[in-house]
Structure formats: C-alpha cells, structure tokens
Amino acid sequence: MEKAWLKSYAPGVPAEIDTSVYASIADIFRQSCARFAPRPAFTCMGATLTYAELDRLSRDFGAYLQKVAGLKRGARVAIMMPNVLQYPVAIFAALRAGFIVVNCNPLYTPRELEHQLKDSGAEAIVILENFATTLEKVIAQTGVKTIVTTQLGDLLGFPKSFITNFAVKHVKKMVPPWKLPNPVDFAAALAAGRPQALEEPDLVHDDIAFLQYTGGTTGVSKGAMLTHGNIVSNLLQSSAWWGQDLREGEEIIITALPLYHIFALTGNCLTFMKIGASNILIVNPRDIPAFVKELGRYRFTCFTGVNTLFNALLNAPGFSSLDFSGLRLALGGGMAVQRSVAERWKEVTGKPLLEAYGLTETSPGACINPMVPGAEYNGFAGLPISSTIVTIRDDDGKILAFGETGEICIAGPQVMKGYYNRPDETAKVMTDDGAFRTGDIGLMTPEGFVKIVDRKKDMILVSGFNVYPNEVEDVIAMMPAVREVCAVAAADEKSGEVVRVAVVRKDPSLTKQQVIDHCRAQLTGYKVPKIVEFWKELPKTNVGKVLRREVKNAPAQP
C-alpha cells in the first residue's frame, strides 16, 4: 500500500527503524546509567536519584527479589504506587532481573485488584502503605507470596523521609490500618539485596516485559502482553521522531500522569530514560495549586498530559506566570486534544500543544504530529511513526480510500503479542493480515495525517445519522463560559437517540439556551444537543479521562 505519510515526515525522520539495536529494555537502561551516571534521573518532592543511584538501588532490589524472595525468571511482579521514587526503582529492578511488571492502579477496588493479581499470576507486589488495606481484603484469594510495602517518603533522605512519613500517617491520617502476612519494608528489602549478586539474564525481543491491563471500563480487564521488543521498538520510534529536537542528557520532563498508565510509562519514564533526561514525578496532579507551585521550581523542557490536565492547569491561578522559556515539547495523548485547549495553551506558553495517538496494545505510540518549525495544533492525531502502517478499514476488513471513515487499524513492531491467556479476545482485535483493530473510528488524509472521529461504541445515532461526541464537545468547549463538556447518547422515541451534553460551567451565568444557540450556529441540526445539563464536575479516571459511560448512565441533572 502507499505510505502517504512518509512525504509529510520532518527532515531526517526515517521510514523504518532498526529494532535490532537493543535486545531489551534492560540493555537500554544499563547503557543510560553508564553514560549519564551523575545526572539526575528522577526527582520527586524535592529529592533526586541520579542515574548511578537508580542503577545501584534497582540492582539491590532486583537481587532481593531473586535471591531472598526466590522469584524465578518470568515471575510477575505487581507494582501499586503513585509517582514516587520507589516506582522507577521497582520497575527497573524487575525488568533487569528478568521478571514481568504488572502495573496496578492504586485506586483499584478490592474486586479490581483481585482480578488483576489472579489473572496475571502475580507472585510479588510492591505497594504503598496507603493502599495496603485494599490488598488485605483480597490477598488470601491470590497467589502473591512476597509483599513489599513502602511509605511515601522512603527515598526522600533523612530527615525529610521521617517527617513526611510521620505526617502522612499520623497527622493527615492517610494510611488506613492494615494487616498483611509477612510484609517486608522497602528499605529492609534493599538492605537484604545489597550483599546478594544480581543475575541479569540475556533477554530477547520476544520476552514479555509488561502485562499492561486495559479494557476495564468495558468489561473484564485484559492483560496486554507487551514484550521487550515492543517497548524497545516504541522507544526507537520516538527517538527517531524527535531526532535532534530533544537533546541527550539535557531535557527535563514533567511526569504528571501516573507511571502505571502506558502513556507515562513508555512516553515519559522509558523514552526519556533512554536519552538521559531528568524526570520530575508529580505525586498528586489533582492538587492543582500544589502542582503549579511544583512547576515553578523547574525550567522544564518537555510536558506530556491529557486534555483535561492541560485544561485544569490553564484555568489555575499562577500557571500563566510560570517560566515557559525552556519548553520545547508539549504533547497531548490518551484522549483527543480540544482545539480550544490547544489554542489557549499556545497563547499562555508560547509553544504548540501537539497531539499524539496510541493505545495500550501499541505500547502505546502509533501516530505523532511532526515537530517542525511553526508547528500548530491541526486537529489531527498525527502521522504514523517510523515502521508503522495505519490503515482505515470497513467492517469486513477492506482498506478504505483516503478521506473515507472507518476503523483505524495499526501494524508495526510496537503492536502487542496478544492478550494474556485470552486467545479468543486477541483474535477479535486482529485482522487476517496481522493489523490491530483499535475500535477507533477515523480517516486518513492524502498527506497521511490520521484524524480520530470517535470510538465505535461512543457513536450517537440520530435518525440514522452518525453523530460523533468529540465533534459536539469540541464545539461547546469553544465557549469561554465552559470549563468542560461531555457528550453522550440519550434514548428518544422519535429519532432513536439524541445528543445529551453534561457541561461544567466556568461562568455560572451560562444558560442552556446559550449552549444550544452556539451549537446551532456551528453544527448540523441533528448534531445539536437536545438535552443540556449543568454538572459540578465530570467523572474521570485517575489518569484524567472523562468516563463517558458513567455520564451516559447517570440520571438526568438540572
């Protein structure tokens, strides 16, 4: 097929990458630790680990898991923490020791955690004490034998570590009482592993690195098997895409999205580890005032996030007065970036907010907008990155022409090995010729740009006409009096479905009629919302994605 996107690549970006350069993530990690040893690797709450310290601590913890806990190659190690310094230590310890990382959302309910631990076959877990009570309720039903607990301040250095841990537990009362069988303190595990020898196996591309769970909002979550080859490929693809625009050993990236999410995991933690960058970990990005204050401490150069995060920051006091002189790259993913948010970001920071597209099953990067002089928000998800083939297909799998709307399908070395222990589910999402069916509806321009129209399941059908929620949301988000909006389908006797919107107002004087009048001026009649509701806030995942299904299922609001 014609790779139309290649003609739109920035100068120097290759059509293909050589995936044989590295055998594993561990290979990249070892090289980065040697090359950038004295440089800061991760910073959190004012404390910093250099690459040399990260190398030493991950070695010690990996040796503990191997020699003291007795885990064998291929064992599953669950990690359940927010963005604290212990997270990268645990991830790199597990990977270099030949284990498989199972990332767990700290806000899981007991039911969700039990499913993931049992389904993955996790034998060990590293968990922040704040969430140990959840594990306590399900531990007996799982195969987890090794439990390592840690406190928020454990790697902040004395006396800050002591003060932080005391305040979290005894002053703020953020640690519910818990009791687990034979837990080991993180510091004790490091000490026990220190005299032991770490055996680093020869890993190959086909070895699984992560069981990354996805699909929990639409049914039972499934573990996407992301191999070392998948992740290595995506790191090489990203590096090739940015080329000389990102400088090795000099970048400072803000990591506000949680590391258990694939966007932050690959896009921030691993990609920027490869180039020796400094990662600023934000423990609680929902505390926007504290987040803005933290941003004021750094002359950051790169920033990734989701649309809701960028929007919240733009509406936060003090954000517009930060120093953006070092900012080189702002990248939005995980959900569609709205034009109104991107334009305001450019107005406030002076830098464009570029959009990228990917999924858990694609490690995640598949499309990124080119970073070229004069780059602006363009409403597209980007171009297929190096060694990636994107096709638009109909329900029968037939490849459609440029401009036609269908399901976006992705092929490339970053596409997962499959869903763990679910060959039936894997078969459902793969085409006969090996492309991954994303479930997203989109089109491709003759220049190779991919536009996301919407999710298949979110489409609203009004009298036989397709209405895509993103389009309605983008139009309403243009209104200065609107802070956030979510569009869903509502049942209707006449037309089958109508458009229902939940709006969070920035200006309390905004009326429903004003919203409808604005939409009438911007949208075809059948796309105009028939139901307008004002909400105090929209339900979101911990990553900041709006839970469209919860909005859809919620009773009508005033």
Where residue 418 falls (left for φ over 0; alpha for ψ -120 to 50; beta otherwise) is left
CATH fold, domain 43-203, is: Rossmann fold (3.40.50)
Tokens 């638009």 label which residue? 392
Instruction: Report residue 219's pLDDT band, with 50, 70 and 90 as the boundaries.
Output: low
Answer whether residue 454 shows pLDDT above 90. no
Which range is least confidently modeled, 102-106, 327-331, 369-373, 454-458? 454-458
Give residue 60's identity as a one-letter amino acid code: D
> Domain 459-553: which CATH class?
alpha beta
**Residue 194: HSE in the Cβ half-sphere, 13 Å Cα cutoff:** 9
Q: Which of 33-37, 333-337, 499-503 has the lowest mean pLDDT?
A: 333-337
The closest of 301, 310, 293, 292 to 245, measured between CA atoms, is 301
Counting every residue, how long is the chain?
558
The rounded mean pLDDT for the chain is: 95
Topology of domain 385-455, CATH: Luciferase; domain 3 (2.30.38)
Q: How would you write 434-449 as a 3-class SS string?
A: CCEEEEEEEEECCCCC
Q: Is 508 exposed, middle or buried (0-12, 13-18, 19+ CB in 10 A)?
A: exposed
pTM: 0.90
Q: Please state the rounded mean pLDDT for residues 382-392.
A: 98
Asked if 490 and 500 count as a contact pair (C-beta separation under 8 A), the reply is yes
How far apart, in Å, are the Cα atoms of 45 and each of 49, 164, 477? 12, 10, 34
pLDDT of amino acid 465: 82
Q: What is the mean pLDDT of residues 312-328?
A: 97
Nearest to 271 by CA among 387, 365, 204: 365
pLDDT of residue 62: 98
Which token pair is 363?
């490690």
DSSP 57-100: HHHHHHHIIIIIS-PPTT-EEEEE--S-THHHHHHHHHHHTT-E
Q: What is the pLDDT of residue 468?
A: 84
Q: Which residues pair with 534 in a beta bridge?
A: 503
Indicate if the pLDDT at residue 69 is higher than 50: yes
Q: Label residue 169 exposed, middle or buried (CB < 10 Å: 0-12, 13-18, 19+).
A: middle
- Strand 47-50's sheet: what is its strand order? 47-50, 40-44, 278-281, 252-255, 302-305, 329-332, 354-358, 365-368, 383-384
For the segment 156-172, the average pLDDT, to the nearest whole number, is 96
Over residues 311-331, mean pLDDT = 96
Alpha helix positions (H), 315-361: 339-349
What is the average per-residue pLDDT within 131-137? 97
- Rounded mean pLDDT, 298-310: 95
How much of the chain exceeds pLDDT 70, in percent? 99
Give the helix/strand (H/E) hosting 280. strand 278-281
The residue ranges of every structural domain in the chain are 43-203, 385-455, 459-553
Report whether pLDDT(218) > 50.
no
Token pair belonging to 330: 């702002």
At residue 292 the predicted structure's pLDDT band, cuts being 50, 70 and 90, is: very high
